[in-house]
Amino acid sequence: MNSYSAPSIFIPEDHNSHVSDTSPEICQNAFWSVHFSDTHAAAAFDELHNNCHGVGGTHLFKEAKCLINEMSAPDHCKVAATIGKQFDAFPPWSKLHKFTNSVLLTDFFDGNHFHDIMKLFVFASHNVLAIHEDFLGYKLLVAFRKYVNMVMFETLEVYISTTITAGRKAVEEFGIAINAYDKALSDLLDWLKVDSDSDSDSGSDDEDDPLM
């Protein structure tokens, strides 16, 4: 049998009273009879693929790279170089991948790398992406921070009622942060479209775009 471990959940005794007369051995899962199967592992939450290789690595980190690439040429080069330099400046640490200044130029396929990138990204980019609260990068970094909080609760090995409540709140806060970023991005795109249409109608010179 595979050595998968499921999280432990402690429920107050009075909350479990409605099932006290029911034996867990009454119902047998049909998949227990399948050779080399582990129903507990199959039903367990896969944090690596859902978050590190999913929400975090495939979506949030990719969105951050797109945001940087959409900046004007001088800003793009400066911001990317600064973030890479600050990633490289992190000292080696046990069970934490060491990244070089080419972190934004490297295509990672290992979810464990994304797991560590998401931990470090806010620290490596806050001074160039989160200049002020109206800055689109600030909204994205708020989502990064809420994501890290959410993952922290999702990867706990022992749960009690208070951590379950806090974990649910972390998931809710992450959703709020994502919606705030999505709205800010949508508002900016609408502004750029209106500004572009007005310039084409008037024939005036293009104005500088707001900081993204």
Q: How do the domains of the chain map onto residue ranges?
A: 47-198
Percent of the chain with pLDDT strictly greater than 70: 74
Q: Give the pair of three-digit tokens for residue 54.
A: 């999913």
Q: What residues contact residue 151 under an 8 Å CB cut-off, 6+ apart?
A: 47, 51, 56, 118
pLDDT > 80? residue 199: no
Residue with tokens 């980019």: 125
Contact call for residues 147 and 60 (beta carbons, < 8 A)? yes
Q: Please give the model's pTM, rounded to 2 decimal places.
A: 0.72
For 9, phi then psi, to 5°, come to: -120, 120
Contact call for residues 141 and 126 (beta carbons, < 8 A)? yes
Q: Please write the tens of the pLDDT for every residue from 136-180.
A: 899 999 999 999 999 999 888 888 999 999 999 999 999 999 999
The alpha-helical segments, DSSP class H, found in the chain are: 39-43, 47, 61-69, 73-88, 111-129, 136-154, 161-202
